[in-house]
């Protein structure tokens, strides 16, 4: 396949592969955080249940934007994988599918990258400074916050999100995914601009040839 048919093919393959791999890592960190959160809450509730205490831990403050962030990472992984597949699969057309759909895939890469950035900023702030909302009840009567905090300490639990390693991993990994998503978007955009320039030059050449005939 001529290099003009698939502009910046080697660079795009590398950028898309890294964007795909790191988006998968980021999404996996998000899913892991969800699982770990449920396990942690279930464990704490099981520890106080024999005492007749009903424990309520609300983490919606970070769970909701975290789910949105994970969805964005999954979209980036899917788009990168599909674009990479188009580049690697053999094409019998003069203009391969990877080039014909380059404008669309570039737009989707940009969309998913912006999505990740827009959701990652609030997740980072909340993870660094936010706390879970904790309430405990005995026979429907709310326990004082001081008693709850004392029990939390004995169980080795902290309301601060940042103290949990899986939360820190979920924040750090997507920032790396974001960087390589942006790189893949930039490389794809440059390739798309180059493909448009090549197509325009080819059209001008064909027009000149027809005029000479």
List pLDDT tens digits, range 131-172.
Answer: 999 999 998 889 898 888 888 888 888 899 999 999 999 999
Evaluate whether 98 touches 86 at the Cβ level (below 8 Å). Answer: yes
Residue 203's pLDDT is: 54
Residue 207 in this model has a pLDDT that exceeds 60: no
CA distances from 58 to 55, 133, 180 (A): 10, 5, 33
CA 110 to chain centre: 12
- 81-113 pLDDT, tens digit per residue, is 999 998 888 766 656 776 788 889 999 999 999
User: Is it the case that residue 197 has pLDDT exceeding 80?
Assistant: no
d(CA 204, CA 66): 50
Pairwise CA distance, residues 107 & 179, whole Å? 16
- This prediction's pTM: 0.85
User: Of 27 and 146, which is predicted with more confidence?
Assistant: 27
213 SS3 class: coil
DSSP-derived secondary structure letter, 164? S
E strands in the chain? 53-58, 133-138, 141-142
| pLDDT at residue 31 tops 90 | yes
111: exposed, middle or buried (C-beta count within 10 Å: 0-12, 13-18, 19+)? middle
Confidence of residue 208 (pLDDT cuts 50, 70, 90): very low
Q: At what angle do helices 60-88 and 9-48 cross, to 10 degrees?
A: 150
């Amino acid at each position: 396949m001529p290099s003009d048919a698939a502009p910046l093919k080697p660079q795009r393959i590398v950028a898309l592969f890294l964007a795909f791999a790191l988006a998968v890592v980021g999404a996996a960190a998000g899913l892991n955080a969800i699982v770990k959160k449920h396990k942690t809450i279930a464990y704490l509730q099981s520890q106080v249940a024999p005492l007749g205490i009903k424990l309520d831990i609300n983490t919606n403050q970070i769970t909701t934007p975290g789910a949105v962030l994970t969805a964005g990472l999954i979209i980036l992984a899917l788009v990168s994988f599909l674009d990479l597949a188009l580049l690697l699969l053999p094409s019998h057309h003069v203009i391969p599918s990877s080039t014909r759909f380059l404008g669309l895939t570039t737009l989707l890469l940009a969309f998913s990258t912006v999505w990740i950035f827009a959701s990652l900023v609030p997740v980072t702030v909340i993870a660094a400074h936010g706390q879970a909302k904790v309430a405990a009840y005995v026979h429907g009567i709310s326990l004082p916050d001081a008693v709850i905090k004392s029990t939390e300490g004995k169980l080795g639990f902290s309301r601060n999100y940042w103290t949990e390693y899986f939360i820190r991993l979920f924040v750090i990994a997507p920032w790396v995914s974001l960087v390589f998503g942006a790189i893949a978007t930039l490389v794809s955009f440059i390739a798309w601009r180059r493909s448009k320039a090549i197509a325009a030059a080819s059209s001008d050449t064909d027009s000149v040839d027809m005029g000479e005939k």
